[in-house]
Amino acid sequence: MEDLMEPIRTLVDFKNGVIHPDRVIERRISDMQGMYADDDALNQLLSIDNRLVYQVKEVSIPEKEGHIIYSTTIIYPGKVGKEYFMTKGHFHAKENTAEIYFCLSGEGYLLMQTRQGKVSTIYMQPGVLGYIPPYWGHRTINTGSREFVFLTLFPGDAGHNYEIIQKHGFAKIMVEENGKPVLKDNPRYIPLKNG
Ligand code: PAN
Ligand code: ZN
């Protein structure tokens, strides 16, 4: 019983996410360079104000098999050019691990992709649970006019691999056209050679 840990009580607010996080990760426009199709639009935004794109509020759970790590993410409303504010996106380092996303407020899309380039989306609104099966890379996109807030739960030993998405991108991007979100081919996407 050397690993016995005390239970944890966490208060989660539907608008603000985890109330007393142990750690808050902030991602600003400057952290998102190269991830949007329109570099000029990103640089222009950056020259005005290095805005906050999203925040992850984490609770300290051991990053070990058997545990379930949970956190909340808040994506602020906004766009880079025509593309909505979004997370960086990643595959899990241990790729055969799943994840659950549960929307608390706002709206947006969960965009998923396999190494072979197969794409799937789930429209998220309060009460929607999105299940990301093993082997799917994932990113979330705020297509609404308010904060998009969701809870995520994943295995303690999942880990994160950001490199694949950073180098190859997602096959699809979500852009605003006539006031509505539309999924388009990503001009910057580089397919993985061997899947
Ligand atoms: C989520 C994400 C969170 C931020 O908790 O880590 O929404 O997105 P990025 O990690 O892509 O910046 C999750 O999927 N964890 O595994
Ligand atoms: Zn994940």
- Is residue 1 pLDDT above 90, yes or no? no
**CA dihedral (73, 75, 80, 82) positive or negative:** positive
User: 7 vs 3, which has greater pLDDT?
Assistant: 7
pLDDT at 3: 79
**CA dihedral (185, 189, 191, 195) positive or negative:** negative
pLDDT tens digits, one per residue of 20-37: 999 999 999 999 999 999
CA of 154 to the centre of ligand 1 (A): 10
Domain ranges of the chain: 23-185
Residue 161's closest CA among 94, 74, 73, 61? 94
Query: For the residues 122-129, what does the mean pLDDT come to?
Result: 98
Is 71 a pocket residue for ligand 1 (Cβ < 6 Å)? Answer: yes
CA of 128 to the centre of ligand 1 (A): 17
CA of 179 to the centre of ligand 2 (A): 29
pLDDT at 2: 62
What are the φ/ψ torsions at residue 39 (nearest 5 degrees)? -60, -35
pLDDT at 194: 74
- Against a cut of 0.85, is the pTM above it? yes
pLDDT at 193: 86
Cα gap 158→162, rounded to integer Å: 13
Class of domain 23-185: mainly beta
CB 88 within 8 A of CB 26: no
CB 170 within 8 A of CB 188: no
DSSP 190: -
pLDDT tens digits, one per residue of 65-109: 999 999 999 999 999 999 999 999 999 999 999 999 999 999 999
Q: How confident is the model at residue 134 (pLDDT cuts 50, 70, 90)?
A: very high
Q: Bridge partners of 23?
A: 58
